[in-house]
Structure 1
């Protein structure tokens, strides 16, 4: 091996030798999982009586590898050496499975994944000896009520940061041996992480649950129905952690759908989860692609349009054909772009925040694609490093290069000082960030301090957005709309139905609004015309209250989605009042303590670090003196404008250019006069 923790194998496949280059994916769980297995991984079992038993198996984490086949840059290899050689070799359009031969740790057999007689099937055994049933639906997608549902796996004959996931499945369908089942799930997780490597995203397997009966909740119906019940069960689970994403693996002989998830809702804790259907003929490889598609859909990634999306290989993950075709698969440029958009729009995503609060203490590994302590960069596997212009395979910068990643890195060099790296997401309440010229990282996200007034006094800044009910009404109905008066809220939100409520509980239905909290429930707007303009699909009601036309709207949405017409957190609900957790509370709960006239001399606002962020043309820290053309704060890491420095240099050169000739001419005249006197 050329690198630490690197392994090479020479495997003979169909009479031809192939060299496999591998890099370690994990370490023993005793030290903390390196990638995709949680260090406190547990198996929970519900027996037929409904009682819960937990077990903490010692699963080896240091024997999982991923890599490539030498000479095949588009290949992907995912192998485990924990108990013999086991895994997959994926070329561009064909895959091979590797299994130990009997109990031997040194003998193995290799097979094409398309062979349905081999051991690569997801199921343990045939349940009743009958022929496997094919899917009943066509290859198509449709929106399921309550989520995004994928219909139709493959035609008959085809065989195919970290997000903490909990796998739940039915007893006997994956096998009755906990160890064998765990190895299969770990193998699927390894394949899943190989596919999400381009996102620099880790899907961590935190727990498994085995249900030995169907007493938890009803699992019949279409994907949307089962997903709704799973999300309702999630609220009452005694062991499911808030940051975990449950995946229910559901067996069906014949199914009209193969998966369901809530589109783009990975950051909503009450809507995160997925249902995946496996059948007798489905292989681990194909099933891992299905799980990857479901997870990607929850991350806001759409299916690829073949005419518009470029794929780095022969087939992209976000295509229906990916479920039916073997071989290595990757996300398209479209998918990567949509994932970046999702991250920008969900900066406070719970699973991202959880990851940041719980750092893992790991041994640095060069070649895993993640920049860790002691590394300048990490270009990943050898085939990726060969194409990298900034980084060497030894995780060092190439000569003359300063960076490889980051919002302030461009063409392997730091961006110029004071170059904008993160524009303001909200014109009134968010603040732009700028590069400091000496780092590849964009400074931490800054925004106007919570509680600062915005939108002409109708709202408050909250988490970087102006939460004004007027703006919320205008976003829905158009520029003429505005927040309704209290009388409208009294009329509409007292009905406790889909048009007027203070939230919805999975069991108790629509919640009533107490009088003090009327303006923190369903958004009610006033509109000057009888027919408000909106492109949204839904039902609308009107209520004439005094001289006001009150309008309420109900979106046509699935039961897994939160009502987008509930008044947003941090919205103003009266003079000196703000909506927090659906209740109207005093403005003081936001702890706003900035007097911009005194502290920032009327030339700036306070940011979320409670420091002055100066308007353009004024200098921090107190915005008292004129200076920077950008403004900013002491948290912005801004320096003097390069343009100012260059202008000063030009002025000096011009001055010297004008003065020097005069001095020279004056000296010549004086010398001539002296000569004449002599």
Structure 2
């Protein structure tokens, strides 16, 4: 657990929490081919995560730790801006057997790439307040005699930009403390088994309702935390605890029984909203979807585009006859800028262009979102334009007896003071200052602890790739001496002639760790546009740059740090000038041959990352953190 605890400690500076939600030991056989080629191992691991792990355990990010020595100076590899996507993960070599902080530093660096961070040296004007001899910053392309313990201002700025993107929803959900791996720890700000509250370590706790030493409620307190807990008492029923986010959301009110706000529910599916109809809490509109995917300046393509369909190979042809408009098929946009990590196909018509964005894997194109309006009282449902009756919620609110409305689950959302399930009975001690109260009994979904999975709290993201190395390579990625940089078809008849222009995504960036500076490898072109890979290397001459003016906003919840240790010597491969171990005392298990994988997930508010450990068959002895 030392590795996860140290990564958690590093990310708390950014108001993120790293939490281990799954642990898997491959001590019988490897589930994937663990190769000395880091690219091969990363591809195999991410494929295994998508095909095997994702369906078993919910998580945001997966990390593999192995005792197999990667070729050259690479000790870690990850894809840039991949958090919340199927490529959210990394592979790490356990390069310092004497100190777990070595592999923890690598994991923190690779996770940084998953969160959109670039190498500090690649950002003009980047400033790190810690000199190289003092450890430098975590996203530096090279490492010195000490392990880094903080992020630079440009890493904060990269993260801020990343979480503002629309694809980071996975970071908004908090991990279930009951699913965390390991024994409960009083003082980590997670209310775990046997605890009534947890306000952090005693010296940092400012909650008078909680005994920080025992993690039990203080004498006379009825609650210690939650939106419906005030002055150590549960607030009266009917008090607003979660206002509506938009027209498709419903406000929630305290029920007078629990200190937490009731489950977040939304307007009934099919409720009119600007430009469409509510569906599971959102108002899907084509124009907004195009801007989410292609950025500012993008708009919905002309209607003629929707008479065409395209194959994965970017071949255009009339969809269903020469003039039929397929409003619920492929989403066509015009203008804006393509996300660098995605491939696309452009149809050129006499009257304009039709841009389609490929899904991950390139087997299909981004579809029109489910629930999008396709006509009066009609919505897209499973690829077809159907009547609102498909929501099966006609006149659902009639069962609420004029004291509530139906939510998206088909249950009554009662007004303040009225009790579920049909809002026919008054609740006692209702707070009169509120207008309506959500009192439905809603089933809570228990998150399954992800094997090799983790959870971090934050907010939004895009998708790139990066790897970590210690010597220059010609592979796809960015070099870092202890982190290395790696390296049109005419449409068929019927409708106006269309020319297709496939566009490929850039290659994900990777960073590697090594004792010398590695040159950046040229961008690699895949079946989609190529992008560069960052690498972690040993430091070139010291060079500090002015601080960035942009600061990362602080996240709400924050978890107390679990026990960790002082920074050890930097990770170095055998024969590459291993530094003398620091004063940290580490409990090691008997030497054995294995490789470990950890999964991590991020979540909003105070982000939390969960780590999963996997043991596989390596070629050198590794340490078992338990």
| Structure with more helix by fraction | 1
TM-score, normalization by structure 1: 0.45
| Structure with more strand by fraction | 1
TM-score, normalization by structure 2: 0.48
- Structure showing greater radius of gyration is 1
